[in-house]
Amino acid sequence: MKCSRILYNFFLIALLLNVPMLSHAQYSEYEIKAAYIFNFAKFIEWPEIEGNNDTLILGIYGTDPFGNILEKTLIGRKAQGKDWKIIRSSNLSDLTKCHILFVSDVGKFETLTIFERTKGLPILTLGDELIDFCEIGGIINFTSQFSEHQFEINNESAKNKGIRISPKLLLLAKIISNKEDEF
Amino acid sequence: MNRFLFILFILTLTLGQSSFAQLTATERKLLKTANNLFDDEQFAQALPIYLKIDSVADDYSVKYRIGACYLNSKYEKLKALPYLEELSKIESIEVPIIVYSDLGTLYHYTYRFDEAIYMFEQYLLVSRKDQFSEKKDIEYAKRMITVCRNAIEITTQPFKADIDILESPINTMESEFCPLITADEQVMVYMQTIGLSKLAKPETYLMISFRNSEGYWGAPSKLEITLLEKYKGKSILLAGLSPDGQTIFLNIGQGLDQDIYSGALSGKIITDLKKLNKYINTSFFDGRVSISADGTVLYFVSDRPGGFGGTDIYKSIRTKRGDWGEPENLGEKINTQFNEDAPFIHPDNVTLYFSSEGHKTIGGSDIFKSKFNAGSWSEPENLGFLNSTKDDLYFVLNANGQIGYFSSSKNNVFNKHNIFRVNLKDPIPLTLVKGIIKGGIPPVPISATIQVFDKETGEKVKYVYNPDPETGKYLMIFPPAKNYDVFIGSNDYLPQLINIYVPYQTYFYELYQEILLQPVTLENGVVGEIVTVNNTFYDLYKTIEADSILFDDMPKQPKYYDHLLELIENIIQTTDSMRFNYRKTNQNIEAEGKNVDALLNLIEEAIETTDPITLSILDANAIQKDKIKQTHFYVDGDKNKSLTPHVIGGDTIYSAPTIKTPSSQTEYEKIQNKMIERKDLKETKFRLSHAEDRIYIHRFVVNYPINQDEIPTKKLSEIQDICRLLMDNPSLGAEIYGYTDSQGEEKYNLSLSRQRAQKVLRFFIDHKVEYQRLIVKGFGEAINSADNTDPQHLRRVEINVFELKE
């Protein structure tokens, strides 16, 4: 058996619940993450932004681990009736108009710099398995494979920015609160 | 075909005096000219004249001469068939008995094996009464009867492989032959002969083609050889290619005196061409080569004395000094009295493909397969489906044992070869590791050496693992179910030792590895290095199993088997560009589009119904990747103090602390480790640690003016840099120690030293460094040291960054 017992159990449960499982395909990590990003937008409300209400903008800061997967997943599909636009940049001033800002492969120091520079803007910060991302003020963070939850959410940070996250998403996430309270 | 010439002599004896009563004088004259040409062996010129005479006169001798002309032609041998058939039906003493044998040969050529056997038997029958019959012809007929029987058996076996002819730009109107591929099927070299059948001196070129991101062979270009003028007047032919494509072997020589050379292949340029040593190259013919994936065994063809007859296959093992040792004949299991040629040792190191005119051939040279098991080679098996009654010579296979390439002149009247690709549907379990090594910020390919050791035996597997300095790409092929130590050396970085475990698998397993070496810098220098190892696994068996659990109504075999093969093919085609450039081929766009929708809908539905189980299944079923990021800090800022010794196979090797990739753990351990990993870091007790457990990686001193406790502004950026280091590396802590000079009251000085340290602490905390990681102390008056009595030097805060011993 190559499957671990845990996996095996999942499959059994899946059978019992008759979950509509995907045929054949074994998706790659970033294919799945792109699909999450698409769906997050369906369960999140942003405050009105003047001048831009017909596109959803996804910003990729620095390293882009997706290749062209994002284009394949997002472009040509609508979430909340809006088309997607993807902006890739290492310069934060290009990314101030984003709805979602995806951050991958950076240290905590750089992460904090990003938070500092986007303070007060209604940007949903999304970390790619970054350590303590939600604890220091990020809104959503993907967790590593085999974690109990697939993502973490810091709802306080979201609220502060006027972003409303659906309770359905919150239920599926590991909820993190601001660490700064500890000081 | 010399044997056809033999006909001619008998013919002249027996049919020479036939009457041509019905011929006109002009025709007689023509016939005489034709006969003269025929006697001079100018068959091509004689043939049209005979054909003309044949159209007006019905004569055995003319018919036979036409047959003989065709038999001696290069491309029209089969046209002799009706003429010989007609002759064979006449039981006349005037018809030479060799006609039966020749006819048998032609029937065999055209797959009419039953008729061929009959003709050879007929030949044997009459030859007993014929005083002219020669022993070698009798032996030939006997052998051909066996060959035809083999052919009947082999050609009627079910055909399980798909064979496709490669399209343009590889195959052209010219002749392409002898394809050689790298184990990952990304590079192909082959030969092209231009002007066959047209030019008096056809030219042969060595060609190379790279597979593009769409999975097709790109436009080929000619291989270039540096210092080519050294080999002027000699023929240069392809002899072999190492599985990683970095070493190419050539046959260089004149006529039958061929020698084996090896060279480095980089892009389309061959450099460092060297003749192999005297064990390999003799005064006899030394030809085609195949090197094992670990670079330690060389198989080659030679007709040196002491063999079993014809050309034989030999092997040579690399000696401890790195050169080739005395070769050994592969023995009677492989070599026969006939010619053996074109060995190809599969990267699994035990399966040998070769061509032979002996064994159970169905005619000419055939491709055979034999496995080395328990000290001996197995009975060679005829790869029937790709062999023809003509010569089938060069066959190579990719690492997963799936896709092979060969060239054949099948279905080509001019004997021009084309290159074919075959899907064997017969995989060999193996693990292929394709990797890329990069260094620096931003990362660029670096030149490095990679050595791999079998952990159990400590044996070093060498030679083929080094990355290409231009692209940083490397390739390793492992037998499964073993632990390996991968040792990476480079000029600018610490040597690294990485453990990997290659699991046992039934099918093909592929690992894509990315190694990233990057410096950790502070404003005033490098304090350590970050090593990132990214492994991505494809376990095809697991995918199948998962599918079969979820869809129990689907048959497991053979439907899945085909699916598996497709997957392997796709994976091989995509791995090169896997992370950054997914494959876009026309036929896949639609299918991929569907998959994306399915995935999106699945996740949406799971969120809508708050169903965590589906999400977990999706997560667990995702293509596995593991990423390990380890930071090595230099002890006291000294690179060399950071090395630890390892004893491998009797040698001691120094490297940075070993990196255990998650792939060297079981799946249960992996999950456990991931869970404790983060907790561990948070609970590290920096403040409670003993000074002797601290390994200092960086020391920084801030000096103060008299009676000041504010951090001097010019030091702020450097201190901020230390904050960044601490924040990005949770494994680090820092001591902040304050001191004063000895002026003034002792009590006041103690509090001043504390304030200095406190202000630095405040700065750290304002920059979000957790206070649990900082140890703050005021020591009061610092003791004057003998070598530096400057009081400015005493008024200071020391910031000592440290790591804890494990």
**Least Cα separation, residue A165 to chain B (angstroms):** 12
Whole domain around residue B734: which residue ranges? 691-804
In order of B18, B39, B48, B170, the CA distances from B35 in angstroms are 13, 6, 12, 44
Whether B628 is covered by a domain: the verdict is yes
Of the partner residues B543, B580, B581, the one whose CB lies closest to the CB of residue A26: B543
The pLDDT-based confidence of B260 (bands split at 50, 70, 90) is very high
Burial B570-580 (b: 16+ CB within 10 A, else e): ebbbbbbebbe
Other C-beta atoms lying within 10 Å of the C-beta of residue B692: 7
Strand order in the sheet with B162-165: B162-165, B418-423, B403-408, B395-397
Whole-number Å distance between alpha carbons of A78 and B1: 72
The residue that leads in pLDDT, A49 or B614, is: B614
- Domain assignment present for B250: yes
In a domain, B18, yes or no: yes
Considering only CA atoms, give the Rg of chain A: 17
In the prediction, which pLDDT does A180 show? Answer: 54
Instruction: Taking residues B279-297, report their average pLDDT.
Output: 86
At B625, the pLDDT band (50, 70, 90 cuts) reads low
The burial class, CB within 10 Å (0-12 / 13-18 / 19+), for A12 is: exposed
Let me know whether B224 and B137 are in one domain. no
Nearest chain B Cα distance for residue A163, angstroms: 18
Distance of CA B476 to the CA centre of its chain: 8
Residue B684, in any domain of the structure: no
Task: Tell me, yes or no, whether B339 lies in a domain.
Answer: yes
- Cα(A121)–Cα(B375) distance, integer angstroms: 72
Q: Within this chain, do residues B413 and B444 fall inside the same structural domain, yes or no? A: no
Q: Which of A9, A13, A18, A39 is the best mutation test for B, with the most CBs of B within 10 A? A: A39
CA B511 – CA B503 distance, rounded (Å): 11
Query: For residue B161, which amino acid is it?
Result: A
Nearest CA of chain A to the CA of B484: how many Å?
Answer: 20
pLDDT of residue B399: 76
> Of B225-229, B515-519, B751-755, where does the model show the most confidence?
B751-755
**Cβ(A56)–Cβ(A92) under 8 Å?**
no
Going from the C-alpha of B627 to that of each of A104, A129, B437, B639, the distances in angstroms are: 13, 11, 14, 25
Does residue B678 form part of some domain?
Answer: no
* Mean pLDDT computed over B264-286: 88
The distance of A127 to chain B (nearest Cα, Å) reads 15
Report the distance separating Cα B649 and Cα B667, nearest Å. 29
For B690, counting Cβ atoms within 10 Å of its Cβ (0-12 exposed, 13-18 middle, 19+ buried), the class is exposed
Where among B614, B643, B671 does a domain terminate?
A: B671
Q: Is the pLDDT of residue B569 over 70?
A: no
Mean pLDDT of chain A: 81
User: What integer pLDDT is reported at residue B231 of this predicted model?
Assistant: 84
| CB spacing of B581 vs A67 below 8 angstroms | yes
Most confident of B454-463, B569-578, B584-593: B454-463
Give the minimum alpha-carbon distance from A39 to chain B in angstroms, rounded to a whole number: 6
Spatial separation of the C-alpha atoms in residues B179 and B190, rounded to whole Å = 4
Query: Is position B685 within any domain?
Result: no
Separate counts of helices (H) and strands (E) for chain A = 6, 9
- Label residue B504 by pLDDT band (50, 70, 90): low
At residue A40 the predicted structure's pLDDT band, cuts being 50, 70 and 90, is very high
Interface test with A, best of B518, B617, B682 (most A CBs within 10 A): B617
Q: Which of B552, B622, B674 lies nearest to residue A26, judging by beta carbons? A: B622
pLDDT digits (tens, 9 = 90+) for A50-66: 666 788 999 999 888 88
| pLDDT over 70 at B428, yes or no | no
Superfamily name and number for A28-182: Response regulator (3.40.50.2300)
B660/B717 same-domain check = no
Q: Above 70 in pLDDT, residue B227?
A: yes
Last residue of a domain, one of B127, B155, B183: B155
Q: Which long-range contacts (CB under 8 A, 24 or more apart) does B206-209 make?
A: B206/B236, B206/B237, B206/B238, B206/B250, B207/B176, B208/B268, B209/B169, B209/B170
Asked whether residue B530 is domain-assigned, the answer is yes
3-state SS, one letter per residue, for B326-345: CCEECCCCCCCCCCEEEEEE
Q: Which of B696, B705, B698 is nearest to B794 (CA)?
A: B705
- pLDDT score recorded for residue B10: 44
* B534 and B660, same domain (yes or no): yes
Asked if pLDDT for residue B359 goes beyond 80, the answer is yes
Contact B239, B289 (CB under 8 A): yes
Cβ–Cβ < 8 Å for B481, B503: yes
pLDDT of residue B199: 65
Q: pLDDT by residue (tens digit) across B522-555?
A: 877 888 888 888 777 654 444 444 443 333 333 3
Whether A172 sits inside 8 A of B550 (CB atoms) is no
B505 neighbourhood in chain A, CB within 8 Å = 2
pLDDT tops 50 at residue B441: yes
Q: Are residues B532 and B411 in the same domain?
A: no
CB spacing of B549 vs A171 below 8 angstroms: no
Instruction: Indicate if B710 and B739 belong to the same structural domain.
Output: yes
More confident residue, B312 or B96: B312
Q: Residue range B140-167: average pLDDT?
A: 83
- For A115-155, write each residue's pLDDT tens digit: 999 988 999 999 998 988 998 899 999 988 777 888 999 99
Quickly tell me which residue has 């949903």 as its tokens.
Answer: A124
How many distinct structural domains can be found in chain B?
4
| CATH at B410 | 2.120.10.30
CATH number at residue B30: 1.25.40.10
- Which DSSP state fits B691? G
Interface contacts A/B by beta carbons within 8 Å: 161
Most confidently modeled range among A32-46, B192-206, B376-390, B503-517: A32-46
Q: Kindly state the percentage of chain B with pLDDT values over 90.
A: 13
DSSP three-state, residue A49: coil
What's the rounded Cα separation, in Å, for the pair A152 and B119? 82
Least confident of A162-171, B176-185, B610-619: B610-619
Q: Among B129, B155, B181, which residue terminates a domain?
A: B155
Q: Report the pLDDT value the prediction gives residue B587, as an integer from 0 to 100.
A: 29
Average pLDDT, whole number, for chain B? Answer: 78
Cβ pair B602:A20 closer than 8 A:
yes
| Beta-carbon separation of B768 and A136 below 8 A | yes
Residue in chain A nearest B592 by alpha carbon: A72
Q: Nearest CB to A32: which of B582, B622, B729?
A: B622
Same domain? For B734 and B664 the reply is no
Strands A55-61 and A83-89: parallel
Total residues found in chain A within this entry: 183
Task: Judge if B229 and B368 occupy the same domain.
Answer: yes
CA distance A160 to B763: 26
Q: Nearest residue on chain A to B546, judged by CA atoms?
A: A11
pLDDT at B174: 86
- How far is B795 from B782, CA to CA, in rounded Å? 8
- Mean pLDDT for B75-100 is 78
What the block records as the tokens of B577 is 């560009």
Is the pLDDT reported for residue B267 higher than 80? yes
pLDDT tens sequence across B634-676:
877 777 777 777 776 667 777 777 777 655 555 555 555 555 5
Task: Inform me whether the pLDDT recorded for B85 exceeds 80.
Answer: yes
**Whether the Cβ atoms of residue B250 and residue B273 lie closer than 8 Å to each other:** yes
Quick check: B287 and B239 in contact, CB under 8 A?
A: yes
Cβ-based contacts of A67 with chain B (< 8 Å): 579-582
Indicate the pairing of strand B286-291 with strand B297-302. Answer: antiparallel
Backbone dihedral region for residue A14 (phi beyond 0: left; psi -120 to 50: alpha; all else: beta): alpha
- Measured in angstroms, the CA of A14 and the nearest CA of chain B are apart by 7
Beta strands in B634-787 (DSSP E): 644-648, 651-655, 659-660, 694-703, 732-740, 774-781
Query: Which residue is listed with tokens 């790409």?
Result: B473
Same domain, B256 and B405: yes
Q: Which residue of A has its CA nearest to B681?
A: A131
Q: Could you tell me the two tokens for B681?
A: 């870091």
The H or E element containing residue B619 is helix B612-621
pLDDT at A141: 95
Name the residue facing B600 among A25, A35, A67 (closest C-beta): A35
The least confident of A63-77, B155-169, B721-735 is B155-169
- Greater confidence (B256 vs B698) lies with B698
**B622 contacts in chain A (CB < 8 Å):** 26-29, 32, 145
Judging by beta carbons within 10 Å of its beta carbon (0-12, 13-18, 19+), is residue B71 exposed, middle or buried? buried
Average pLDDT over residues B324-339: 91
* Euclidean distance between CA atoms A161 and A164, whole angstroms: 9
Q: Quote the pLDDT of residue B29.
A: 86
